[in-house]
Amino acid sequence: MKKNSFLFSTKGIVLATFLSLNTAIYAQKTAEAAPITERTLSNILEKNRTYYTQGKVADYIPELGKMDAKAIAFSVVDKNGKIYNSGDVNKKFTMQSISKIIALMVAVTEKGESNVFDKMGYFGSDKPFNHFSNLETTGKPLNPMMNAGAILTTSLISGEGEKPFLKVLDMVRYITKNQGIEYNKSVYESEKATGHRNRGMFYIMKNSGLISGNEDQLDNYFKQCSIELTAEDLAKIGYFFANQCIRFDGDTTYKNAEIAKLVESQMLTAGMYEFSGEYSRMVGLPSKSGVGGGITVSVPGKMGIGVFSPSLDQHGNSLAGYHMILDLAKQYNLSIF
């Protein structure tokens, strides 16, 4: 009897432990697998809303300084192409450096990867986006995500005048299925009038023979940076590269696993400028930011994320945007590592 009750109680403990472990594992699984809802996004957004007070809106391009620092938006396109939005979802902002991944795709599709990367490196970024390295040493830009490499990439897209820019714009319109996307002429004029560092890089690369055209090519870079869109559009771009260049609605016109891998690898190693290394430790997802306050994120094989908040940290990345991505990535265990 004693033995039995002992056995019974041990069994009871084992059973109870088994059940509670099982419940814990189940709870963890359901938390991970729980579908994203607009509620999830708005909770994360509200938690991070005030980060804008700790950063600064970019004003080295004077027109960008006019952005409303308090604006904030958070969008996700899930595996099935379903869209979730929270915050100022209709608020438009300029893509800035995020346009570099589209220009890279267009240039590589046209010229082939080796004809682009024989003129620049695959190096990760440990320097600010507007740094001249390595133009005075090896002569070649470090990667296509920093300004020098991006200006060069855009110059490699064929066509006279603004034709190369129009190809980038058309690709953004295609990926987002949003034909209404335009570029902001005031931001473009503002950047053209003040972009002396970029002009300097352009002429150094022209001097070394990497660039062969005229200043129209630099204007095309300024114009692509001025393309205006929303956080939802950015989520669709993230989705596209996360899913072998298949559009969120399933359209496979540009399906290309290799180009998607190339773009995602550049996003991971250089997409957040000199913060890229720490960012991949913290978030672990291919991402590309722009000084307009947007960040696009690819969760490989799964979803796309788009965030917007124009107040930036010292590297030029959206502060609230980063924190929203970080929270979502933690909550849903999205890191690729």
Site residues (vs ligand GLN, CB under 6 A): 96-97, 129-130, 147, 191, 198, 225, 290-291, 316
Identified catalytic residue from 291, 297, 299, 307: 291
Count of CB atoms situated within 10 Å of the CB of 212: 10
Which is closer to ligand GLN, CB of 96 or CB of 298? 96
Which is closer to ligand GLN, CB of 191 or CB of 264? 191
Report the nearest approach of ligand GLN to the CB of residue 250 (Å): 31
**b/e for 37-50, b at 16 or more Cβ within 10 A?**
eeebbeebbeebbe
Which is closer to ligand GLN, CB of 85 or CB of 226? 226
Report the nearest approach of ligand GLN to the CB of residue 146 (Å): 9
Strands 73-77 and 83-87: antiparallel
CA pair distance 138, 130, nearest whole angstrom = 17
User: What separation in angstroms does the CA of 12 have from each of 4, 7, 15, 26, 272?
Assistant: 12, 8, 5, 20, 53
Which is closer to ligand GLN, CB of 130 or CB of 331? 130
Report the nearest approach of ligand GLN to the CB of residue 79 (Å): 29
CA pair distance 115, 213, nearest whole angstrom = 17
Which is closer to ligand GLN, CB of 86 or CB of 317? 317
Question: Is residue 2 classed exposed, middle or buried when 0-12, 13-18 and 19+ CB atoms within 10 A define those classes?
Answer: exposed
Catalytic, 311? Answer no
Closest by CA position to 147, among listed 273, 56, 266, 298: 273
Catalytic, 273? Answer yes
Provide the token pair at 36: 């994203």
Identified catalytic residue from 76, 100, 276, 280: 100
CB 328 within 8 A of CB 34: no
Provide the token pair at 71: 């604006």
Q: Strand, helix or coil at 295? A: strand
Count of CB atoms situated within 10 Å of the CB of 124: 19
Identified catalytic residue from 52, 76, 86, 97: 97
Strands 93-94 and 83-87: unpaired
Catalytic, 276? Answer no
Catalytic, 183? Answer no
Report the nearest approach of ligand GLN to the CB of residue 196 (Å): 11
Report the nearest approach of ligand GLN to the CB of residue 128 (Å): 9
Which is closer to ligand GLN, CB of 187 or CB of 245? 187
Identified catalytic residue from 52, 84, 188, 273: 273
Closest by CA position to 157, among listed 211, 206, 204: 211
Report the nearest approach of ligand GLN to the CB of residue 103 (Å): 12
Catalytic, 14? Answer no
Residues catalogued as catalytic: 97, 100, 221, 273, 291
